[in-house]
Chains A and B, each alone.
Chain A
Amino acid sequence: MKRGLIIGSFLSFVFMGLACISFLWVPYDIETLDIANKLKKPSLSHWLGTDHFGRDIFSMIMIGARTSIAVALLAVGIGVTIGVPLGLFSAARRGCFIDEIIMRGNDLIFAFPSLVIAILITAVFGASAVNAIVAIGIFNIPVFARLTRAAALPLWERDFVLSARVCGKSEARISIEHILPNITNLMIVQGTIQFSLGILAEASLSYIGLGAQPPTASWGRMLADAQTLVSIAPHVALVPGLAILLMVLGLNLMGDGLRDLFDPRIKEQRT
């Protein structure tokens, strides 16, 4: 049970660590081309080899981690900061017209194929990391809004909320003081899972050239650049592919592990 959480957190923190280190130091500057050393196999000087411009792949993975994590994190941030208050508000006004409007609006966003709309947004407003963040973030809003509302609804029927109402506390105050602390666990778990989905979405967008623009490295574009070279230098495609896989796997394992850790019902079964 716990093993998944440990492996997951380890993988996630390795990549986050790489991303943080890349701000201070990278083995090679990825903006200088070194055509003479192109498509080198992994060696001591280039740990993961070089790509078709002779750039160090390990350095690019580090910078790419930075891009992926930044985009995904900010997108989840958008989802949480808009979605959670919407969900709380909706739950506080459950059954009212405004609740209906918010939730049907959610359904509307859910009904759109998220990646296609993200492509549309980035295509219309220009391909850039910021637009990718916004495009992915919009689709995180209904996820958090719906989850928050669903988790908050039963809490509103609990006696401690009733007694807070008897004490004359307003809906907003109860939402913040009583409802929010009791759904934080759930939000952390969902946040982790949305984070991994965000990484995938960012990779997809940059794969088709609509994510962060060169010279900034990103895993998706590294994959796209390497696809024609798979037969000559498979490691150039393999490394960014593995990076995406491991990061998403790590976050998913961590999310699952956190959910088991926080859920008292599962905890009881385990003992």
Chain B
Amino acid sequence: MNLLNVKDLSLSIGGVQILQDVSIDMLSGEIVAITGESGSGKSLTALAVMGLLPRGSVTKGSIWLEEKDILTTSEHDLCSMRGRAMGMVFQEPMTALNPVKTIGDQVAETIIIHDRVTKFDANKRAADMLQRVGLTVEPSRYPHELSGGQRQRVVIAMAIALRPKLLIADEPTTALDVTTQARILELLKDLVADFDMGLLIITHDLAVVAEIADKIIVMQKGCIVEAEDTHELLSNMRHPYTKALFNASTHRVTLPEYIPSLPLLSVESVTRTYNLPRTSVFGSRPKLQALDGISFHISHGERVGLVGESGCGKSTLTRAILGLEEVQKGQITLGGQPVFSQKNLNMEVRRKMQVVFQDPYGSFNPRHRVDRLIAEPLHVLENAPVGKERGFAVSKALEDVGLSTTDANKYIHEFSGGQRQRIAIARALIIEPELIIFDEAVSALDVSIRAQVLDLIADLCQKRPLAYLFISHDLSVVRTVTDRVIVMQFGKIVEQGQTEQVFSNPQHAYTQSLIAAAPKLPEVTYAIETV
């Protein structure tokens, strides 16, 4: 008997076809992964199974969870099924928890709603469940007191509090660091075996999929293109889209050889401490050591990677290098000049440095046209081009990043995430800076788009010597686009060296654990095409 049986599910919202003939079979104790790029319909498939489709959805087909068809069950019955028959884990553990309730209460709430038990019993069961998911903190703690991984454990505890038969996890580890991710995946696997649940995991990360799933479903534009047992799929890939997807996630670029040259950016024993809010009325303010004696340098044309988990001081360092923030000790110089100047901005430094941010949606003023957005840095030049020349500069920058010159008159909302990131790179390149900071610049992109942007970066390096600092939590990306890598932990540099050397032979224990925790894609083989 199948646990979940989705049969020819089609879904349209407001006349737009979202899903087409999606069929899924899964048994209890099985882990099925749905993967695909954004817009492939994987999240909506999960919501359909939960009976949480947005209003205005028109469905065809059926979703059988054991004896019941979710699509024809009334909302009232669905309410009693959610939590009891099926549980769900969301991507963002911070927003999935209510900040004003203790974690124990939030888990107990699910139990009280469904089982008629006393508050005391519910609390006891909640505490047991929190222990089961490996939380060592008291149930009386609040979400903001916990780390991201701990919060995700609370969310999981809430979802499995009533031991549902089916657990749906929508990108459960995407917001987490690699080492935390590894532990959460381990926990999920363990729970599935222990409770004999079915786990439907939705993720864009193919390495995660390959590591955890028994069965893989690959979706593209609302259709299932391939559904196979993991082993079978990895050893015998059939559909061209699946191949393209796996190719893109292991995408490697070829950088031109780095010729050692003079230092460009030098960071000398930089220290930055933040005062945290007082914990008591008259107590002194606790301090957070964000950067602790950081020293490194980047030479002309050198491509350096910076990796570390959240809270390691990456962002603070980025802001300090960009001269947006003063440091308490040490000095950061670019081409011999300090990057931070009190009142009067040092235009000479500004001319040499640009930045590309992570979020392709937040990095542009939505009220300006692309030509104005791209031309923004031009004003730091001494004789900035005006009129026609300015137009040429914008066109050239757009062409350099593979966009059309007619895009200059459009507004930013007309572009996709990948195109926006190209525009961000065009903006950074227009003044031909010597150093670009890529702050998680490809992290928000789909694998195929990410591969294209990485190609673009490599391409730009071929055209002219370009030094950059590539900040990322994604080790596989850092490995391919950098010459040298710096590993940070708790505001300190724990290891730095040639990229290949660090990755193949990490010296520091933290680097070793980072590399070990990162999910790896197994070697894949493709089916021989038969004509």
Shortest CB-to-CB span from B277 to chain A, Å, is 13
Contact B379 A159 (CB under 8 A): no
Q: Does A169 interact with chain B (Cβ within 8 Å)?
A: yes
> Which of A163, A166, A181 has a CB less than 8 Å from the CB of B367?
A181
**Interfacial chain A residues near B357, Cβ < 8 Å:** 159, 162-163
Known: A159-B359, A162-B355, A162-B357. Contact between A167 and B364, CB under 8 A? no
Q: Say yes or no: is A182 at the interface (Cβ < 8 Å to chain B).
A: yes
Q: A214 within 8 Å of B by Cβ? A: no
- The contact string, 1 if C-beta is below 8 Å from chain B, for chain A 254-271, is 000000000000000001
Chain A contacts for B379, CB-based, 8 A:
167-169
Binary A-proximity of B459-472 (CB < 8 A = 1, otherwise 0): 00000000000000
Q: Which residue of B lies closest to A161 (CB)?
A: B365
Is B376 an interface position by the 8 A CB rule?
A: yes
Asked if B376 and A168 sit within 8 Å, CB to CB, the answer is no
Q: Are A163 and B427 interface neighbours, CB within 8 A?
A: yes
* Closest Cβ–Cβ distance, residue B394 to chain A (whole Å): 15
Query: Bound complex: CA of A177 vs CA of B368, how far in Å?
Result: 9
Cβ-defined contact, B366 with A182, below 8 A: yes
1/0 contact string of A165-204 vs chain B (CB within 8 Å): 1111110000001100110000000000000000000000
Say whether A158 faces chain B, with CB atoms less than 8 Å apart: yes
Indicate the member of A162, A164, A169 with the most B CB atoms within 10 Å: A162
Q: Tell yes or no: A160 within 8 A of B by CB.
A: yes
Is the beta-carbon distance between A158 and B362 smaller than 8 angstroms? yes
**Residue numbers in A under 8 Å from B363 (CB-CB):** 158-160, 163
Interface residue range, chain B? 20 to 34
Given contacts A159-B357, A162-B357, A182-B367, contact A167 B376 (CB under 8 A): yes
Q: Most chain-B CB neighbours within 10 Å: which of A162, A166, A169?
A: A166
Q: A159-B362, A162-B355 are in contact. Are A170 and B345 (CB under 8 A)?
A: yes
B355 with A166: CB separation less than 8 A: yes
- Name A170's closest neighbour in chain B (CB-CB): B345
Alpha-carbon distance between A159 and B362 when the two chains are bound, in angstroms: 6
For chain A, the count of residues having a C-beta within 8 Å of the partner chain is 17
- B489: chain A residues at CB < 8 Å are none
Task: Look across to chain A and name the residue whose beta carbon is closest to the beta carbon of B322.
Answer: A166
State whether A167 touches B380 (Cβ < 8 A): yes
**A153: shortest Cβ distance to chain B, in Å?**
15
| Mask: chain B, 43-64; 1 = CB below 8 Å from A; 0 = not | 0000000000000000000000
Alpha-carbon distance between A167 and B350 when the two chains are bound, in angstroms: 6
Residue B354 CB within 8 A of the other chain: yes
B353: Cβ under 8 A from any A Cβ: yes
Partner of B350, one of A158, A159, A166: A166
Give Cα A177–Cα B322 distance, bound, in whole angstroms: 21
Q: What is the minimal beta-carbon distance from A164 to any residue of chain B, in angstroms?
A: 6
B506 contacts chain A at the CB level, 8 A cutoff: no
Judge if B391 is at the interface, Cβ distance under 8 Å: no
Knowing A166-B322, A167-B376, A168-B379 are in contact, say whether A178-B354 is a contact too (CB < 8 A): no
Q: Provide the residues of chain A in CB contact with B338, threshold 8 Å.
A: none
A contact residues around B359 at 8 Å (CB): 159
Assess whether B113 is interfacial by the CB under 8 Å rule: no
Q: Which residues of B contact A167 (CB under 8 A)?
A: 350, 354, 376-377, 379-380
Query: B355, A168: Cβ atoms under 8 Å?
Result: no
What are 9 A-B contacts defined by CB distance under 8 Å? A158-B362, A159-B362, A163-B357, A166-B324, A166-B350, A166-B354, A167-B377, A169-B376, A181-B368
Q: Give 18 A-B pairs besides A166-B350, A177-B365 with Cβ atoms closer than 8 angstroms.
A: A158-B362, A159-B363, A160-B365, A162-B322, A163-B355, A165-B322, A166-B323, A166-B324, A166-B377, A167-B350, A167-B354, A167-B379, A167-B380, A168-B347, A181-B365, A182-B365, A182-B367, A271-B14
The 7 A-B residue pairs whose C-beta atoms are closest, nearest first, are A168-B350, A159-B363, A159-B357, A181-B367, A167-B377, A159-B362, A168-B380
